[in-house]
Amino acid sequence: MAHSDHNPSAVRNGLLAALPPEDLARLRPRLQPVELPFDKTLFPADGAVEAVLFPESGMVSLLATLDDGEQVEVGVVGREGLVGLPLVLGDDRSLVEAKVQQEGTALRIGAAAFRDEMEASAALRGLLKRYALAFHAQVTLTAACNTRHPIEQRLARWLLIAHDRAGADEFPMTHEFLSVMLGVRRPGVSLAAGVLQKAGLVRYARGRMEVTDRPGLEASSCECYHVARREFARLLGAGAAQKPG
């Protein structure tokens, strides 16, 4: 169900919740509740960005597509952020595809209205610039992590990111999907998932992943997960570094 409570205190998106009350009150009437169905493409690679979406639940992956059709995830957005960053930075096209990977809901504002609100609110401009820096840190660390760290650490990191945004210990997940997200062949993902499962950190069955030992999974991850969380907290406040639940 789309979120329809228009009480500002009920806003579940972290960026919107961080706005001063008067700025949120001005912006809120222009925000339309929308569904984020699983596997929906919100905008295609090299496509027009016609709106900004502030997720309140669920998770959106940003996917780079190569000439041979292979895709790899380069960024993740949950309720801590927004989808449509090019509009924040003065552009209206996206190099990457935005696709829903965990169903949820969001608050949508069209491009023209969003530009109006950015111009009218210094608080909104400042907040979204800091978010752009935090998201850049996530993308930078993803690139470094995918190049240098073992698959087990990368998988642990990605599962922590998904767990933060799922709002539950169990969430849909397939090895095929993970292979795209991590840019590796499915047998490598299956082997790494088996290592984490044997260690008692996760339980995987029938396309669903359950995190059974969060502290253990954090210990098994590389530093990239923790550095990205610290950057979000530094730039946007402690609430931006999401905890699961």
Render pLDDT for 156-177 as a digit per residue (tens, 0 to 9). 999 999 999 888 899 888 878 7
Residue with the larger pLDDT of the pair 85 and 143: 85
Cβ 51 vs Cβ 106: under 8 Å: no
Cβ 185 vs Cβ 201: under 8 Å: no
Residues 6+ apart with CB under 8 A from 210: 169, 170, 202, 203, 204
Topology, domain 8-121: Jelly Rolls (2.60.120)
Residue ranges per structural domain of the chain: 8-121, 150-221
What CATH code is assigned to 150-221?
1.10.10.10
Is 80 exceeded by the pLDDT of residue 91?
yes
What number is the average pLDDT over the span 212-217? 96
Render pLDDT for 177-187 as a digit per residue (tens, 0 to 9). 788 777 788 88
**How far is 194 from 209, CA to CA, in rounded Å?**
12
**Which pLDDT does position 8 carry in this prediction?**
42
Is 90 exceeded by the pLDDT of residue 69?
no
Answer yes or no: same fold for 8-121 and 150-221: no
Is 60 exceeded by the pLDDT of residue 244?
no
- Please, what is the average pLDDT of the chain? 89
pTM over 0.85? The answer is yes
Is 60 exceeded by the pLDDT of residue 242?
no
